[in-house]
Chain A
Amino acid sequence: MKYKIEISGGFTGIPKFYEGERHLNEIQKEKLLDLLKTSNSKNSPIRDGQKYSFLFTEGQDIYTAEFGENNLPSELRQIMDSIIHAD
Chain B
Amino acid sequence: MCQEKCFIVPPHILEELAKRGNKSCKRTLNDTGRILERRQTALNHLLVREQEDGAANRLVYDCQNKYQQRVELVMNEGDQPTDDEVANLAYDGSGFVRDYFQQTFGLNSVDGNGIDIISNIHYGENYNNAYWDGDEMTYGDGDGKEFTNFAGAIDVVAHEIAHGVTQFLANLEYYGQSGALNEHFSDVFGTVIKQKYLDQDIEDADWLIGDLVVTEEFPGIAIRSMKAPGTANDFDTQPDHMDNYYSGTADNQGVHINSGIPNKAFYLSCLEIGIDDCALIWFETLKSLWRTANFNDMVETLISVAQNLSSEGRVNEQSVDAISKSFSSVGLTPIVV
A contact set with B: CB distance below 8 Å: 8-16, 42-50, 69-71, 74, 77, 81, 84-85
Nearest chain A residue, comparing its CB with the CB of B179: A47
Sorting the interface of chain B by its residue count into under 10, 10 to 19, 20 to 34 or 35 or more gives 35 or more
Contact A48 B131 (CB under 8 A): yes
Contact of B67 among A49, A71, A77, A84 (CB under 8 A): A77
CA distance A11 to B158 in the complex (A): 12
Question: How far apart are A80's CB and chain B's nearest CB, in angstroms?
Answer: 11
Instruction: Say whether B130 faces chain A, with CB atoms less than 8 Å apart.
Output: yes
Kindly provide the distance from the CB of B78 to the nearest chain A CB, expressed in whole angstroms.
29
B3 at the interface (CB under 8 A from A): no
Chain A positions within 8 Å of B159 at CB level: 11, 48
Check if B45 is an interface residue, CB within 8 A of chain A. yes
- Per-residue interface assignment for chain B, residues 147 to 168, with 1 indicating a CB less than 8 Å from any chain A CB and 0 otherwise: 1001000001001100100110
Name 16 A/B residue pairs within 8 A (Cβ), A-sorted. Answer: A9-B252, A10-B129, A11-B131, A12-B128, A12-B256, A15-B235, A43-B36, A43-B40, A45-B38, A45-B40, A45-B167, A48-B159, A49-B131, A50-B129, A77-B67, A77-B124
Task: A74 to B124: give the CA distance in the assembly, Å.
Answer: 11
B40→A11 contact, CB < 8 A: no
In the complex with contacts A9-B256, A11-B150, A11-B159, A48-B129 CB distance below 8 A: yes
Q: Which residue in chain B gives the minimum CB-CB distance to A42? A: B40
The binding surface of chain A is classed by DSSP as loop
For A49, the chain B residues whose CB sits under 8 A away are: 129, 131, 133
B250 within 8 A of A: yes
Cβ of B245 under 8 Å from chain A: no
> Given A10-B129, A10-B131, A12-B223: A45 and B37 within 8 A (CB)?
yes
Task: Check A46/B131 contact, CB under 8 A, given A8-B251, A85-B126.
Answer: yes
B93 sits at the interface (CB 8 A) = no
Residues A44 and B129 in contact, CB atoms below 8 Å apart: no
Q: A12-B223, A13-B223 are in contact. Are A70 and B251 (CB under 8 A)?
A: no
Closest residue of A by beta carbon distance from B223: A12
Indicate with 1 or 0, residue by residue over B188-208, a CB within 8 angstroms of chain A CB atoms: 000000000000000000000
For residue B167, which residues in chain A have a CB less than 8 angstroms away from its CB?
45, 47
Q: Is the CB of A47 within 8 A of B163?
A: yes
Known: A47-B163, A50-B129. A11 touches B251 (CB 8 A): no
